[in-house]
Amino acid sequence: MATTKKTAVKPDPKPIPLEARVIQCITDFTAPHTTQDALDQQAVELLTATLLRTHAEKRYDRVKGFIMQEYSEQVEGVRDQAAKNMQKITDTIVGADWSLVMSANKPSTRCDVQDLRTELVRLGVNVDLIDAAIKKVEKKSTPAFSVVAQRTE
């Protein structure tokens, strides 16, 4: 007669927090190993990270769109307050085990230089004076830069 040994399985007293589970999934998902040099391996790592990021961003956008629809009145209220007060506004919706922090930044204002130049000329301001003033206050930003990894077939 065969005997079987029974062992009791104890449930985890504390489940792993969601953030830790996500980090664990990302770090456990390894990039394929290459037979080439270290730079080639880093390119494969970048490709893998890019794929994970792309799909995570798609999921984020899908869920954010749903939340924006479901809480459209609150979203519009936060945006209207930010525009009205010209400052950042934050509102929180609290659930049983979650919270949504909605914030709207201070609205940015911008000036169309060509429209400004046209209006100043209509008001009789000298064109050379306008151009000199615009050159003095004009600022250029650093161009955005990105590195993209793509799979080659």
Q: Tell me: the pLDDT tens digits for 127-136?
A: 999 999 988 8
Per-domain boundaries in the chain: 17-70, 72-105, 107-136
Q: Collect all residues with Cβ–Cβ distance below 8 Å to 79 and sequence separation of at least 6.
A: 104
Q: How far apart are CA 49 and CA 26, in angstroms?
A: 9
**pLDDT tens digits along 40-86:** 888 888 888 989 999 999 999 999 899 889 989 998 899 999 889 98
Q: Tell me the two tokens of residue 44.
A: 């494969």
Over residues 106-118, mean pLDDT: 87
Q: Mean pLDDT score of the chain, rounded to an integer? A: 83
Please state, for a pLDDT cut of 70, what percent of the chain lies above it.
84
